[in-house]
Amino acid sequence: QSALTQPASVSGSLGQSITISCTGTSSDVGSYNLVSWYQFHPGKAPRLMIYEVSKRPSGVSNRFSGSKSGNTASLTISGLQAEDEADYYCCSYAGSNNRYVFGTGTKVTVL
Amino acid sequence: QVQLQESGPGLVKPSETLSLTCTVSGGSVRSGSYYWSWIRQPPGKGLEWIGYIHYSGSTKYNPSLKSRATISLDTSKNQFSLQLRSVTAADTAVYYCARAEDSSETIDYWGQGTLVTVSS
């Protein structure tokens, strides 16, 4: 099972919006509406930001939104803030055998 | 608030067995609504799902590990563990324990991760 493809880095200025793509295949992203997104800050536990493509867990800012089209899922961060600077990984359910496949990760820099 | 914390040796010799434990607080491993999982990330590389265990005892592993992994549950201590046999330098990674919801297949809580280095 190959990793999902994400851009290595995305940057934006304070207050701007950015979008991170996550491209898989018809065996994972394209087959299931079970894509989630995680925020990784050094030394902290990864945090769930989006699940089931576009749902936000309680406590996650509505500046974070998710979508999917075909084999590509996307995470949009609007009104970029300094604390959004982190690594972001997507994850897709990939069926009963391989279960989960993760993205290659994207470093978000706030300018 | 559910919290997970990994523990175990940070250094393992090649060909030996890597053993890690995850202690769960704020939730119970006895809950039938979750899968208790291990995920790893080699330095400079992406995340890899290792496997999970359910309270029922059912387990599932990533086929790429070629049957080297075993995940077990200790309900008396509210913990679950990972054993990875015959390790090589390629198994050097940050190892995370995590919880996944049964209904949504969503990994919703993670531990902070622990670095395990395989070296003689």
**Residues B85-114: pLDDT tens digits?**
999 999 999 999 999 998 888 999 999 999
Residue entry with tokens 């989630």: A36
State how far the Cα of A75 lies from the Cα of A19, in Å rounded to an integer: 6
Which pLDDT score is estimated for B20?
Answer: 98
The reply to whether residue B49 touches residue A101, judged by beta carbons under 8 angstroms, is yes
For residue B1, the tally of other CB atoms under 10 A from its CB is 7
Q: Chain B closest CA to A29's CA: distance in Å?
A: 13
Computed over every residue of chain B, the mean pLDDT equals: 95
Instruction: Tell me the average pLDDT across B49-65.
Output: 93
State how far the Cα of B26 lies from the Cα of B15, in Å rounded to an integer: 36
Does B71 contact chain A (CB < 8 Å)?
Answer: no
The reply to whether residue B62 touches residue A98, judged by beta carbons under 8 angstroms, is yes
State how far the Cα of B60 lies from the Cα of A64, in Å rounded to an integer: 32
State how far the Cα of B6 lies from the Cα of B95, in Å rounded to an integer: 8
Nearest by Cα to A36 from A75, A5, A87? A75
Would you call B82 helix, strand, or coil by DSSP?
strand
Which pLDDT score is estimated for A35?
Answer: 97
Residue entry with tokens 């897709």: A92
Instruction: Tell me the average pLDDT across A80-87.
Output: 97
Nearest by Cα to B30 from B70, B80, B71? B80
Q: Which residues pair with A37 in a beta bridge?
A: A50, A90
Nearest by Cα to A47 from B108, B91, B15? B108
Q: Which residues pair with A63 in a beta bridge?
A: none
**3-state secondary structure string across B88-116:** CHHHCEEEEEEEEECCCCCEEEECCCEEE
Would you call A83 helix, strand, or coil by DSSP?
helix
Which pLDDT score is estimated for B109?
Answer: 97
Would you call A61 helix, strand, or coil by DSSP?
coil
The reply to whether residue B47 touches residue A89, judged by beta carbons under 8 angstroms, is yes
State how far the Cα of B74 lies from the Cα of A57, in Å rounded to an integer: 29
The reply to whether residue B110 touches residue A38, judged by beta carbons under 8 angstroms, is yes
Which pLDDT score is estimated for B14?
Answer: 97
Which pLDDT score is estimated for B104?
Answer: 85
Which pLDDT score is estimated for B71?
Answer: 97
**Does an H or E element contain A33, and which?**
none
User: Which residues lie below 8 Å from residue A61, measured CB to CB, with a gap of 6+?
Assistant: none
**pLDDT exceeds cutoff 80 at A32:** yes
